[in-house]
Chain A
Amino acid sequence: MKAFMRLGTMCLWLTATSPVCWALIAVALCSVWKWHLPQWVWLWMFVCAAVVGLVLSLFVEAGGGLYDRLRFARSGRIVMGAAAAAITVFALSLWAISSALLRQLP
């Protein structure tokens, strides 16, 4: 559990600090506000943004090094689980905050 929490924190940190993820979220929010998209589409867009941000952080920005580490340590499964949990937490939190904020807008 400790390992899962720590790797989940790692994935959450990498997602939340990813500029690509925030750029995609900005695009998603603009689309949501402009075309009055249903709530499940928002959530889906946030999940996609988080997945893209995390994958880029882990496998592109880290220069293939993390892929090497995962293969060597054979810790791919636990990292995948932690990544899924981190993406869910991130997307749901963002969806809750953004839906509350966008409701205030005219």
Chain B
Amino acid sequence: MTPEVQRLERLAERLRAVDPATPSPGAKIRGWNLVLTAVEQSATVRSRAHPVRRLLLAAVAAAVLLLAGVIAASADSLPDSTLYPLKGVVENVRGALAFSPADKVRYDLDIARTRVIEAAAMIARHRLDLADRALSSLDDQLNDAALVVQAEKQSDPALAASLENRLVQAIASNDQQLAGLQGQATNPATVTAITRARDRAQGALQTADQPASSSAAGKSSASPAATGTGSGSGNGQGNGASASPHATGNN
């Protein structure tokens, strides 16, 4: 071992012998309190915003927003729109959630009003096929409402009278709009389709007036979501048959 190495080893030994500096007890307590606070905050932040959870929440939120946006957009869609089938699904859900007679009539009349708007738009776009389906669907909705009124006449005449009054008003309002459309129409087929729809609306009023046993015509499927190609029975009677734009073979 060279003298230099021996010197340095002695120096190293002297360094090892230096008393370790130790923090004061107060510093240690202060340090732990600060560390503890920071650890608690850190744990809270982590649990609040775990990266994977945050990503998942963002994805779910985006999906919900997207779905809500599509549904909202479909609410105003017309029969020639790609979103129109979704509108039917939403309408069917609404219909399934209408439990009381008053809710059912309100739902049917809402949908009927929508069908009038759709029919007017399709006539304006010279889509008579789609206009005809909308008109048929309109009549089916009115007929459904009429059947509810009819059924209520036995169990709750007062409610039935109120519902019938709403039905009459709705049909009168629809008829006014249909008459306007009819006046503007130049295509004979369009005029015929509107005339038929108006006749069937009046038929729905007759159905509401009849005793329940005499017109158990069954429920219709009058939403855009129903499948099929039915374009309306065109018999001028609210017989409850499916006359949806997509109804299945009931011609």
Q: Do A and B bind each other?
A: no
B residues contacting A by CB (< 8 A) are none
